[in-house]
C-alpha cells in the first residue's frame, strides 16, 4: 500500500508540473579579427520540440554594426541522436572560409559576466573596470545598463501574444560617471522572434596581455545580451552581440 500511495503521489506531482521546457542556448566566443574590425561567436543547444542539437555562428562587422555578408551560419542535427559537438563542428566547417578570409581568431577578454549560475546578480547592469597590472585592482569605472523598450518597435506578428512579450532594448554606458546611450532598438528584427525580455550576459573586448597600458577599454567593446523569446514549448534563450565601443 505504501508503494502504491508513493507512486500515486509522484504521478500527481508530474501532472501538476508545468508542461513547458524552454531551450537555453550556450555560447562560445570565437574572437576578433587581427585588425579589430570583425567579431565572431557561436551559440548552441538542444531545440525544444524536436530535441535536435543545433549550432549558430555569427560574424559581425563592428564598423557597420551589421552581419557580414554570408553570415550567420546555421546547422541543425538530422535526428535526436545528433550531438551538440557534431553540430558545432559542422557549423564551424561552414564558416571557416569566411573566418579565414577575415582573419578572425584573436581571443577575447571577458570584462564582465553575469554567469548563468551566479546568484544575486543584477541582470540589467554590469559594472567593471580596465584590468590592472599584475594583481592590481581594475582601473577606471565602467557600467553598462540595459533598459527595456516596452512598445513601438515590435513586429506586428507579436501583437497576438499580448502582454507576454516586450519590444526591444537600449544600452547606456557610464564611464567614470559620464553616461551616454550607446544602443537603442529602432525595430525588432524577425530573427529575434517575439521577445519576452532581455538580460545583460557579458561585456567582451579584444584580449590585451598588457591591459594596464591600454589607453581605452571601449575600443572594440561588444555587449552580449540574452534575449528570451517565445518558443515551441516555452521561452527560448538566444544571444545578441551589440558593438558599443568607439
Q: In terms of Cα–Cα distance, which of 101, 87, 78, 50 is closest to 236?
A: 50
Is residue 4 very low, low, confident or very high in pLDDT (cuts 50, 70, 90)?
very low
Mean pLDDT of 147-169: 79
Q: Are residues 29 and 99 in the same domain?
A: yes
95 and 116 housed in the same domain: no
Per-residue pLDDT band at 11 (split at 50, 70, 90): very low
Q: 146 with 238, same domain?
A: yes
**pLDDT confidence band for 213 (50 / 70 / 90):** low
Whether residue 12 contacts residue 4, with contact meaning beta carbons closer than 8 Å, is answered with no
Q: Tell me the percentage of the chain whose pLDDT exceeds 90.
A: 63
Query: Domain check: are 147 and 228 in the same one?
Result: yes
Residue 200 lies in a domain: yes
Higher pLDDT, 57 or 12: 57
User: Is 8 among the domain residues?
Assistant: no
Q: Is the peptide bond before 129 cis (omega within 30 degrees of 0)?
A: no
Q: What is the pLDDT of residue 83?
A: 96
Q: What is the DSSP pairing of strand 222-230 with strand 195-206?
A: antiparallel
Domain match, 42 and 24 both: yes
What residues make up the domain containing 42?
Answer: 20-106
* Single residue among 87, 106, 125 that ends a domain in this structure: 106
What confidence tier does 190 reach under pLDDT thresholds 50, 70, 90?
confident
Domain end point (choices 106, 131, 157): 106
Q: Average pLDDT for residues 35-50, to the nearest whole number? A: 95
Task: Identify whether residues 156 and 100 lie together within a single domain.
Answer: no
pLDDT digits (tens, 9 = 90+) for 80-98: 888 999 999 999 999 999 9
User: Is the residue at 189 inside a domain?
Assistant: yes
Q: Is the dihedral of CA 245, 202, 68, 36 positive or negative?
A: positive
Instruction: Give the total number of structural domains in the chain.
Output: 2
CB atoms inside a 10 Å sphere around CB 152? 11
Question: How many whole angstroms separate alpha carbon 246 and alpha carbon 240?
Answer: 19
- Average confidence (pLDDT) over 66-74: 97
Q: Model's pTM, two decimal places? A: 0.88
Q: Indicate whether 84 belongs to any domain.
A: yes
Residue at which a domain ends, from 59, 83, 106? 106
Q: Is the pLDDT of residue 178 over 90?
A: yes
For residue 225, is pLDDT > 70? yes
57 in any annotated domain: yes
Residue 12 scores a pLDDT above 70: no
Q: Evaluate whether residue 11 is within a structural domain.
A: no
Residue 118 counted as domain residue: yes
Amino acid at each position: 500500500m505504501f508503494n502504491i500511495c508513493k507512486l500515486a503521489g509522484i504521478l500527481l506531482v508530474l501532472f501538476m508540473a508545468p508542461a513547458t521546457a524552454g531551450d537555453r542556448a550556450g555560447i562560445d566566443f570565437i574572437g576578433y579579427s587581427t585588425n579589430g574590425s570583425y567579431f565572431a561567436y557561436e551559440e548552441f543547444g538542444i531545440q525544444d520540440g524536436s530535441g535536435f542539437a543545433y549550432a549558430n555562428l555569427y560574424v559581425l562587422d563592428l564598423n557597420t554594426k551589421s552581419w557580414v555578408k554570408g553570415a550567420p551560419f546555421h546547422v541543425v542535427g538530422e535526428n535526436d541522436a545528433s550531438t551538440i559537438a557534431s553540430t558545432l563542428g559542422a557549423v564551424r566547417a561552414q564558416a571557416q572560409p569566411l573566418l579565414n578570409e577575415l582573419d578572425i581568431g584573436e581571443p577575447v577578454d571577458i570584462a564582465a559576466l553575469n554567469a548563468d549560475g551566479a546568484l544575486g546578480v543584477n541582470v540589467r547592469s554590469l559594472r567593471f573596470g580596465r584590468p590592472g597590472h599584475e594583481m592590481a585592482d581594475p582601473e577606471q569605472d565602467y557600467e553598462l545598463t540595459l533598459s527595456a523598450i516596452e512598445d513601438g518597435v515590435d513586429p506586428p506578428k507579436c501583437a497576438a501574444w499580448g502582454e507576454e512579450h516586450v519590444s526591444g532594448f537600449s544600452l547606456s554606458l557610464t564611464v567614470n560617471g559620464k553616461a551616454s546611450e550607446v544602443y537603442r532598438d529602432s525595430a525588432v528584427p524577425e530573427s529575434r522572434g517575439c521577445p519576452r525580455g532581455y538580460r545583460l550576459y557579458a561585456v567582451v573586448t579584444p584580449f590585451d596581455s598588457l591591459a594596464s597600458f591600454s589607453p581605452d577599454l571601449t575600443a572594440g567593446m561588444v555587449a552580449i545580451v540574452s534575449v528570451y523569446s517565445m518558443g515551441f514549448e516555452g521561452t527560448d534563450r538566444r544571444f545578441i552581440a551589440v558593438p558599443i565601443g568607439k
